[in-house]
Chain A
Amino acid sequence: MSAQVFITGLGMVTSLGADVETCWRRALAGDSGLAPITSFDAKALPVAGAGEVSEETLRAIRERLPEEYAGEEERRVLFALDAAQNAMTDAGIFPDDYAPERAGAVMGTGLSSYRLEDFAAWVDAENGFDAARFAKELEMTQASGYFNNPPERATSLMAEWFELAGPTGTITSACAAAGQAIGLGMRMIRRGEADVVLCGGADSMVHPVGMAIFLLLGAASKSKDPICRPFDRRRSGLAVGEGAGVVVLESEAHARARGAAPYAVLSGYGASMDAHQVTAPHPAGRGAVRSMSGAMEDAGLAPGEVTYVNAHGTGTKLNDPVETRAIREVFGARADALAVSSSKSMIGHLIAACGAPEFIFTALSVARDIVHPTTNLENPDPKCDLDYVAGGAREMPVPAALTNSFGFGGQNATLLVRKAA
């Protein structure tokens, strides 16, 4: 029998705030974290805004991080460290509470904080990129850019800070990365590789290249207002967000031994690939179906035992009807009784990190029997015909819930959370 995996600590940073309770309270209220971009000159950017973490919040994060980490330059690393600190504090767990070799870390993150400055400074109008000069001036590369922030940086710093000498990993499976990271954390505990795993995701694509990426791929909304409308007939694409979510997962035995009470139990993980097209999901949601079914099989639960789905819900033309169709296929006649909502309608799409704050919202829904709404849903798309909790937060029994993360390229992850006994 596999060990039960308890969720004992939560930490998050999003455009709604830099602590879990603020983010949760504002999500229940249907507040939007989407606003015009302030971290760079976005006047010419054909996007109205993003789910950006404010400069004030960023300053506060630097002030509360230990001195050796407060100087980190990359936003996603700062978000990760702050969320990790909050999750550990929330769990009431400190390095003395675990054997270092039995404690691990897994984070999902993006790869490319590619800065235009890391390119522009060495472009010679006549000869292109001057690699020879670049090689001699590496110290001039952006401290916040990708030359100085490898993908595993947040994982490594978390491990160093919290003395996590057990298994670690960094996952870069696009938008499925954080969901997979939490799923892997659960597996590490189940198979006895670790007792405690700090896991989640962190990302920030709110920078010129990041925004350009989603425009070039036709995924970003060009709406005149900074609004994301998942499942709505007028949805026009995703709103880019940034932030982090980190959770403390513990084996039941470890948590009980130190008297820790769980928010909920992480009891299922499913992952799949669409294997269809790099730029579009499988039209029948084949990968999404497999991902959700896999999580329920893993947990040993039937569809009737799940009452809430925190959807991937990007607000893109392609995702929302496919996800709806997949939910219908998995839940059959029970689909109409489900509550389904999209956190991205308020915090935007945190890209590689998206699965982490959405997992935290899902865990809180299970723990507190209330689900947050999908905002901006005014004219439902006929192809999106589920109950998306459009009118506001809803109190309801949530014995078990799913949260979906479907990645660009076709990688998918679903996590299943259920009430602690």
Chain B
Amino acid sequence: MNFRPVPITGVGLVTAAGRGVEPAWEALRAGRSLLAADADPELAGFPPIETARCARIDPESVGADRRAARIMGHHTHMFLAAVHEAMGDASTLPEMAEEDVAFFAGMDSVDPDKDDLVSAVRESEGRVDLGHFFSEGMDAIPPLWPLGLLNAIGFSQTAIQYRWRGENAVFSAGPEATARALCEAADSVGSGKARLALAAGVSGVISARMLARAMRRGAWPQAGGLGEGAGVIRLNQPEIADSSRILGWFKGYSSVRALEKRGGLARAIQESARGTLACAGLKPDDVNLLVIHGEGESRSDNAEAEAISAVFGGHKPWGLATKGVFGHLWGGSPALDLIMAMKALAEGASPPSPATAGGLFRDAAGGSGRDELQNALVLVQGFDGVCAAFVVGKHA
């Protein structure tokens, strides 16, 4: 595949630990789970759930103007807060045209405000009364209510705020969407289509309707605790990146869809990992840190363990798993995992590796291991068997 490594020059993160990379890193290093039983009365009818929700964010604190903020929800607020941090001291960026900034995001589905529909909908003889809905009902719905149905609107609002006018796409939904957004952003700057690219991953907002969607697609409650959050990665064209501001390198990626007749999930994870290493020009032994998907569902975890054994053989990298601390952020997880991998590379230290039956990782007994961490491979499992992986490397 034609791909060249691109420098990562900024990251932004919002999780249940708070805004920013540091609080998330501290929670991860300490192994301090942010998941707790969720007492929201709206979720009372669902199976018991542990969540790691993000605190509400004042949109004006992240630069949104008051008028625009009126049609933003928590989903967009998390997104904007992560972008705000990733852009950081944007004044240090090289001068460039607005058309030279690309923007890609993987976003989970959003829900319209249900309260606005209450007075618009009524049933007659067990059926929705469409006569009422199309007359008095619609008059009761705020005109901009439809914007709450579209995750692309939060994306557009962010682009408007920063005046980003380059190439773009919104991918939906779940982890594979964000993995694809990362790939496209990296390709955009790597191939010279853009000089700066932002890649984002944004979780859904935990609600009854989000859980309903997750249950109907069979993705929950098997997968355990759920989290909220957003992560943003800023990538530069290599030629214009200020070396002193490079946090790391996005070195390669690959994605594969599992097909049962081709060996199912375990083979797809293997192929995505091997494809990514080949794309990056690395061997398994070059990987010092492996960020696993590790969602806590037995089929998924077993397939991942089998694939890791097959790819790495006797080589044992440090292991890192985030979902036990932050929950599964769906679309937010790949971005969170990449950012935590970058932090580990920068710190030269990994939190305790997850304990696995097969002893897949170094230092499984616990304790922060110090090592010369150079390359991290991040594994992603999306919906319907999509497996992706990417490599990030330390900046020399």
Which A residues are within 8 Å of any B CB, using their own CB?
Answer: 2, 40-46, 100-101, 111-112, 114, 116-117, 119-121, 123, 128-129, 131-136, 138, 141, 146-148, 150-152, 156, 159-160, 163-174, 180, 184, 187, 190-193, 208, 212-213, 215-218, 270-279, 286-287, 290, 294, 407-411
Contacts and interface: CB of A to CB of B under 8 A. Distances in A.
Nearest to A187: B187
A278 B167 contact: no
B167 A184 contact: no
Given A150-B217, A172-B152, A46 B134 contact: yes
Interface string B175-211: 0110010001001000100000000000000001101
A44 B130 contact: yes
A267 to B, nearest CB: 15
Given A123-B121, A152-B384, A271-B169, 5 more contacts: A100-B259, A152-B174, A170-B172, A271-B167, A273-B164
Given A150-B109, A159-B257, A272 B165 contact: yes
Top 10 nearest A-B pairs (CB, nearest first) are A135-B45, A409-B156, A132-B45, A44-B134, A156-B384, A271-B167, A213-B146, A112-B149, A131-B208, A172-B172
A409 B153 contact: yes
Interface in B137-182: 138, 141-147, 149-153, 155-157, 159-160, 162-174, 176-177, 180
Interface of B: 1-3, 41-46, 68, 71, 98-99, 103, 107, 109-110, 112, 114-115, 117-118, 121-123, 128, 130-131, 133-135, 138, 141-147, 149-153, 155-157, 159-160, 162-174, 176-177, 180, 184, 187, 191, 208-209, 211-213, 215-217, 255-259, 261-262, 268, 271, 383-386
A173 B152 contact: yes
Nearest to A153: B384
Nearest to B158: A275
A136 B44 CA distance: 10
Contacts of A160: 259, 384
B143 A216 contact: yes
Contacts of B123: 120-121, 123
A216 B130 contact: no
Given A116-B128, A411-B152, A276 B46 contact: no
Contacts of B191: 191
Contacts of B42: 131
Contacts of B155: 173, 409, 411
A87 B246 CA distance: 45
Contacts of B43: 131, 135
Contacts of A138: 212, 215-216
A275 B121 contact: no
B215 A273 contact: no
Contacts of A146: 109, 213
Given A44-B130, A135-B211, A278-B157, A192 B2 contact: yes
17 contacts: A40-B130, A42-B130, A44-B130, A116-B117, A123-B122, A146-B213, A151-B173, A156-B385, A164-B257, A169-B180, A173-B152, A174-B152, A187-B184, A191-B187, A272-B168, A273-B159, A290-B99
A141 B45 contact: no
A119 B114 contact: yes
Given A172-B151, A191-B187, A152 B212 contact: no
B149 A213 contact: yes
Contacts of A279: 144
A41 to B, nearest CB: 5
